[in-house]
Structure 1
């Protein structure tokens, strides 16, 4: 399978409002050292909605340059405009990514036929492996297992990042396309059950902070070491829950700041985490030994 394992939904570091390129390069090396299977930049966690096109391309280019083929790069290139999604995906392909993560068109809420034609048009326009990304809570539209089954006949679509949050839909998705495409958890909390159903990995927010543990979890699942994997899963549940206290990526950037990995700077309209939720998050990080000393 082209993509498998723990893949990080990579944050975009900022400094004084600009992309912090040196910090981004350090993150790339950090994930290579910690066993992450692929970088997934310029997605929701990477604040892609606030990046202009030149910044979007620059983040992808840095990941490709710094990784130097030591780790795969699956770049977020989706849009609610099919024309723009094609342009972004062509750009990422020219930069040299291994694949593209393409979110369902958001806000304009296309029908299932519109979704099919959107992805079909992408496949006709670009020559790169693509992973479909379903996250209805963000986009306002749910791509159904039936529509994904239609798309599975197109060779370009090698996988699905499923973040619908409904296990019944995920089970149906496996029954329809599990033998044809990689299915990846788009929700850290559901990684273990998705892997038990036959998942190929996770595109993880938590991996920004605990890449080795997320890599261990997925690798144990892939090896059939279910009891060991369950123990790792259980140890990570409090973190996954805490990282959902506010809108992603506010909690993960806050956690990375508290852990000393990265500045917690975000772009408006995202704002710093509330004091109460920061305290709750800090308690979880402290219990896991992740707080930097001066934060205690």
Structure 2
């Protein structure tokens, strides 16, 4: 089980939207040096929605190559087509990923039974540890705790990233899925409380730019060191808020560029951070000690 701060890594791009390999290496090394628990490659923050299948697979493989066993890599392999999710998950396994993270099928609004059958099909098709990912604010689809409890019985489904921000779900998921099932927050603003209530970590946007402080907060929360955890979280609170002033990953890519971690590059239909938000995001970086 991965425990602590897991970065939902941005995909660095050049001005034309091509993948920037030099910056990818810089980012991987940055997180190894900072002690980040693991990297999620090509998740939502990694702009998976605008990468084609070949790019998706090659980026996972390249991230693993750059990590070189120094940090675990979890591959984002979800899709709204079960067949595509299986294909991407096979790519991740063949590349040597430590696990796969699969977002709920978006846009087509499956039933709970459809979600169960989708995830079971991927798990049965590809023998790699798999983490469910529930983010109804993006997908228009909510993976309910009782469905997660059914899926927790599938051997290689090992956990869930829950990005609902609903802290009541922690107890419901733990009760339904058992102690051996990993519970990860996908909502930075509530992640500290999520872990203090029994979660195992945070798959984080904020960790892209404040990895050491995020790891310190997560480890304190996991050790039930509440005063330290909350003190760290207060320093991070402006980032948790302001990295979402426009759609993720727009603000965090600008922030990473501001720190010299990557260049100016994002793919349409996303655009670079609007000028009106620059001072606000810069102030959040300063509050967290990143600048």
Task: Give the alignment's TM-score, normalised by structure 2.
Answer: 0.96
- What residue is the counterpart of 2:132 in the other structure? 132
User: Contact 1:134–1:160 at 8 Å: present in 2 too?
Assistant: yes
- What residue is the counterpart of 1:71 in the other structure? 71
- Structure 1: 5+ residue stretches without partners: 292-296
- What residue is the counterpart of 2:206 in the other structure? 206
Q: 1:144-163 residue pairs with structure 2 within 5 A?
A: 144-163=144-163
Q: 1:168-207 residue pairs with structure 2 within 5 A?
A: 168-207=168-207
State the Cα deviation string for residues 155-192 of structure 1 (Å, max 9, x = none).
11111000012222333223322423100010111111
State the Cα deviation string for residues 6-50 of structure 1 (Å, max 9, x = none).
110000001132101111011111100100010101011000111
How far did residue 276 of structure 1 move?
A: 1.7
How far did residue 289 of structure 1 move?
A: 4.2
Number of residue pairs the alignment of both structures matches: 290
Which has the bigger relative contact order, CA under 8 A and spacing at least 6? 2
How far did residue 52 of structure 1 move?
A: 0.9
Query: What is the DSSP-based 3-state SS (H/G/I as helix, E as strand, rest coil) of the residue aligned with 1:8?
Result: strand
Residues 57 and 289 of structure 1: CA distance in aligned 2, closer, same or farther (over 3 Å): same
- What residue is the counterpart of 2:7 in the other structure? 8
Distance 1:189 1:264 in 2: 26
CA RMSD of aligned residues (A): 1.2
- What residue is the counterpart of 1:109 in the other structure? 109
Query: What is the DSSP-based 3-state SS (H/G/I as helix, E as strand, rest coil) of the residue aligned with 2:161?
Result: strand
Q: 1:80-119 residue pairs with structure 2 within 5 A?
A: 80-119=80-119
User: Contact 1:178–1:198 at 8 Å: present in 2 too?
Assistant: no
- What residue is the counterpart of 1:257 in the other structure? 257
- What residue is the counterpart of 1:294 in the other structure? none
User: Contact 2:75–2:97 at 8 Å: present in 1 too?
Assistant: yes
User: Contact 1:25–1:62 at 8 Å: present in 2 too?
Assistant: no
- What residue is the counterpart of 1:45 in the other structure? 45
Distance 1:135 1:188 in 2: 13
State the Cα deviation string for residues 123-166 of structure 1 (Å, max 9, x = none).
11010000000000111100000000000111111110000122
Query: What is the DSSP-based 3-state SS (H/G/I as helix, E as strand, rest coil) of the residue aligned with 2:266?
Result: coil
- What residue is the counterpart of 2:282 in the other structure? 282
Task: Give the alignment's TM-score, normalised by structure 1.
Answer: 0.95
User: Contact 2:236–2:287 at 8 Å: present in 1 too?
Assistant: no
Distance 2:146 2:180 in 1: 13
